[in-house]
Amino acid sequence: MKIIKVNGYCLSSTYGDGNVFGQPEGVKSIGLVEVHTDSGLVGIGETYTGVYVPELIEPIVKTIESLVIGKNPLDIEDVYNSMEIPFVSMNGFVRSIIGAIEIALWDIKGQVEEKPIYELLSDTYTDDFGVYASGGSVSFSTDDIKDDVSKILSQGFNSYKMRVGVKDWKEDIDRVKTARNELGDNNLMVDAIQGTLNNWHQYNLVYNSKQLEQYNLTWIEEPLHPSKLKELKSVYDMVNIPIATGEGLSGKLDFDSYLDSKCIDIIQPDVTHCGGFMRTKKIIEQAKKNGIKVSLHIWGSGISLISNLHLALSMGVDWFEIPMVSLDLLSNEFTELKKMILNKDITLNNGLGIKLTNDVKQSYPFVKNSGYKIK
């Protein structure tokens, strides 16, 4: 079997009520990669970077395609190594796309061996991980937060993450207080989205975390920009809330630096952003060795959800994120996966276990300039 084509593209889908923070065009774009073989089998993968710079997916994939044409898609390590480009593929955008191609290769391998990917990744299976509803947009009022918490509780969730950092801090505190009151003793996480905003410094983290302590948070997420590791280390001992971060990291050096820093409590890799299954497995193994909890980051389509699910089932993690802002693309598949995960009754098809038909692709044409932007 040989690789005959690799193509990258984006689909744009309505998202929430169309008035979602960071999506001024009212849609969210998803970056996808397909690997085609001479046997007719096709594998699919998602890259998280499509949310931010969708126009760059196709040309970067086209460049990488020339490195893998004619190779055996079942020799995943060989194909993976051939995609390494000096100076540019260690981390960031290119690493994320390489990971999407690697996911597609595992999809093909699973179809050939007639096994779901998680069975190829490990001989063990576990669904013993916490699941949390990821909502609470930074733009939500206290009434919106109250409604959001009510919704997730009615769906069977017992853990909820909300965002802060855009509104006046006093109003954000009121929003967190509202969430805590509505949740009772259930788990509450707060995401400061500093990977996006980058408007907190270490003194903000210390001050703000002190005000949040009374709400018994499971963690505070991205309380400083990922580039501020030195600053985070300088105040870690002053913060009495567990610190989570990692969605903005992609390369080995990035994760090594944080996992060895002794200033985080939860790491949040995303298989669609940090290099695919093999790389993410190593990150999880290192985190466990260092006594750091693992919460998988998911903020894409149903393809991102199921990709990270295969990893969770094969590796065992502490937490698994399920986005609450509805994406129309693959919404039925997403809803079914969510039910299976919450009910701990998970059955996945061979390979990745999800397909994109031509009808689906044609129904969600790419919208230019639809990458994430702060209004």
**Domain holding 214: CATH number?**
3.20.20.120
Instruction: Looking at the structure, tell me whether residues 128 and 77 fall in a common domain.
Output: no
Instruction: Looking at the structure, tell me whether residues 78 and 130 fall in a common domain.
Output: no
Instruction: Looking at the structure, tell me whether residues 76 and 206 fall in a common domain.
Output: no
Domain membership of residue 370 (yes or no) is no
Strand 27-37 to 3-14 pairing: antiparallel
pLDDT for the residue numbered 23:
86
Instruction: Looking at the structure, tell me whether residues 329 and 291 fall in a common domain.
Output: yes
Instruction: Looking at the structure, tell me whether residues 97 and 130 fall in a common domain.
Output: no
Question: Is 290 buried (19+), middle (13-18) or exposed (0-12) by CB count in 10 A?
Answer: middle
Instruction: Looking at the structure, tell me whether residues 16 and 77 fall in a common domain.
Output: yes
pLDDT for the residue numbered 20:
77
Domain membership of residue 277 (yes or no) is yes
Averages of pLDDT over runs of 10 residues in the chain (375 residues) are 99 85 90 99 98 98 98 99 96 97 99 99 97 97 98 98 97 99 99 96 97 99 98 98 98 97 99 98 98 98 99 98 95 97 98 96 97 84
Domain membership of residue 84 (yes or no) is yes
Instruction: Looking at the structure, tell me whether residues 128 and 90 fall in a common domain.
Output: no
DSSP class of residue 193 equals -
Residue-range definition of the domain harbouring residue 227: 119-353
Domain membership of residue 371 (yes or no) is no
Instruction: Looking at the structure, tell me whether residues 51 and 20 fall in a common domain.
Output: yes
Instruction: Looking at the structure, tell me whether residues 206 and 348 fall in a common domain.
Output: yes
pTM above 0.85, yes or no: yes
Domain membership of residue 202 (yes or no) is yes
Domain membership of residue 374 (yes or no) is no
Q: Which tokens is 371 given?
A: 């990458």
pLDDT for the residue numbered 294:
99
Inter-residue contact 267 to 245 (CB < 8 Å): yes
Instruction: Looking at the structure, tell me whether residues 123 and 268 fall in a common domain.
Output: yes
Inter-residue contact 373 to 22 (CB < 8 Å): yes
Number of domains in the chain: 2
Domain membership of residue 373 (yes or no) is no
Close Cβ partners of 360 (under 8 Å, ≥ 6 residues apart): 11, 329, 330
Instruction: Looking at the structure, tell me whether residues 191 and 237 fall in a common domain.
Output: yes
Instruction: Looking at the structure, tell me whether residues 102 and 123 fall in a common domain.
Output: no
**Domain holding 69: CATH number?**
3.30.390.10
Question: Is 256 buried (19+), middle (13-18) or exposed (0-12) by CB count in 10 A?
Answer: middle
